[in-house]
């Protein structure tokens, strides 16, 4: 593999000195870019795009052609694991993901298995190695997975949900069934992320998109415990380099201390927790990634630059900050505004690292 020319993202995650704050965006390869929409059309469907290593590589690299980003993130979907378990995933226009065979009972749960990473999910690893080769050392490549709790919400609900009524009823009435599902998912995520690392991912992120819908007690039991299990099972050094692990629970600001105890390297922050408060709470235990409200990108470039300056000032001096949005970029954002955001980070952050 080519020598890494820009490693400031990996260094910041490990709290090592950097010349400026690194920046990337969740969903940076996506619908806000006209070139992405063109490639997606060419692929035919979203999952066909994920399964075509050349096209997945193309869309992963598109934002890097436009912006001076410090990392690329694998183009894929969090639902690849449940899809590989044979739950009949499809994407309905305007409805999001739907599972034709949801997991609703202990009998359903007992049919779940850890997918074979080479045969069932080999297309993801092919995409990882293709992207890594094409990056040619420009920036590091991030691999990712959904958290067990987040994957389970889709698998049990049968798709997206506003109330989580089915999975929460299972959690309260049949906790053993849900624990069985989460256990199989945690084992699957460990195998999946380790396979991504062996294929070329240089850092990994666990997206716990729906952890914030739980009570503190239930978050620890049904979400955090399983992420902890994953962190314990991951390859943490590969190819002569440490492989940093980022945990991101949307709406999880109240649990930062507990998340930092898992042994991860960094915590993703959404926009509902101030970064100075988060830094004071976790100290030097972990790096922090985030946390600008994605909706700021609807504002003028001047206002975006102001917000970047505010967040940089709040984090303050020293390493351990990866600048990102507090969640993914919205599809309607003007690409010029995304460019203004990234440019502001690269221009304004140097003084915090002298």
Catalytic residues: 27, 31, 40, 77, 154
Q: Beta-carbon neighbour count of residue 204 at 10 Å?
A: 27
133 is in an annotated binding site: no
Q: Which of 249, 256, 257, 269 is nearest to 314 (CA)?
A: 269
29 is in an annotated binding site: yes
327 is in an annotated binding site: yes
154 is in an annotated binding site: yes
Provide the token pair at 287: 């790096």
Torsion of CA 32, 34, 39, 43, to 10 degrees: 60
Provide the token pair at 234: 């991951």
28 is in an annotated binding site: yes
Is the CB of residue 167 less than 8 Å from the CB of residue 157?
A: yes
31 is in an annotated binding site: yes
Torsion of CA 92, 98, 101, 107, to 10 degrees: -170
32 is in an annotated binding site: no
- Describe the crossing of helices 175-199 and 148-157 by its angle, rounded to 10 degrees: 120
In the 8-state DSSP scheme, what is residue 159?
B
272 is in an annotated binding site: no
Instruction: Give binding residues for substrate as ranges.
Output: 27-31, 77, 154, 209, 327
Instruction: Give binding residues as ranges.
Output: 27-31, 77, 154, 209, 327
């Amino acid at each position: 593999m080519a020598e890494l020319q820009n490693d400031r993202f990996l260094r910041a995650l490990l709290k090592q000195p950097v010349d400026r704050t690194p920046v990337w965006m969740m969903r940076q390869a996506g619908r806000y870019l006209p070139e992405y929409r063109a490639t997606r059309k060419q692929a035919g469907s979203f999952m066909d795009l994920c399964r075509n290593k050349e096209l997945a590589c193309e869309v992963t690299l598109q934002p890097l052609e436009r912006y001076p980003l410090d990392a690329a993130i694998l183009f894929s979907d969090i639902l690849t694991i449940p899809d590989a378990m044979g739950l009949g995933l499809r994407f309905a226009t305007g409805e999001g993901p739907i599972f034709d065979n949801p997991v609703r009972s202990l009998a359903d749960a007992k049919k779940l298995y850890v997918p074979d990473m080479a045969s069932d999910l080999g297309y993801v690893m092919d995409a990882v190695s293709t992207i890594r080769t094409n990056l040619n050392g420009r920036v590091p490549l991030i691999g990712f997975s959904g958290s067990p709790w987040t994957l389970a919400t889709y698998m049990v609900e049968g798709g997206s949900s506003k109330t989580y009524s089915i999975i929460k009823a299972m959690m309260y009435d049949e906790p053993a069934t849900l624990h069985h599902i989460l256990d199989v998912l945690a084992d699957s995520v460990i195998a999946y992320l380790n396979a991504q690392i062996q294929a070329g991912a240089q850092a990994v992120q666990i997206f716990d998109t729906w952890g914030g819908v739980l009570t503190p007690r239930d978050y620890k039991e049904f979400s955090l415990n399983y992420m902890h299990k994953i962190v314990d099972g991951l390859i943490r050094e590969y190819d002569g380099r440490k492989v940093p692990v980022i945990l991101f629970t949307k709406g999880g600001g109240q649990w930062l201390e507990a998340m930092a105890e898992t042994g991860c390297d960094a915590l993703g922050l959404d926009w509902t927790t101030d970064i100075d408060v988060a830094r004071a709470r976790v100290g030097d235990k972990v790096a922090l990634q985030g946390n600008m409200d994605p909706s700021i990108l609807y504002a003028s470039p001047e206002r975006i630059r102001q917000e970047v300056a505010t967040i940089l000032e709040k984090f303050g001096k020293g390493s351990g900050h990866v600048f990102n949005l507090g969640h993914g970029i919205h599809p309607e954002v003007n690409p010029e505004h995304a460019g203004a955001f990234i440019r502001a980070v690269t221009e304004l952050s140097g003084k915090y690292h002298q």
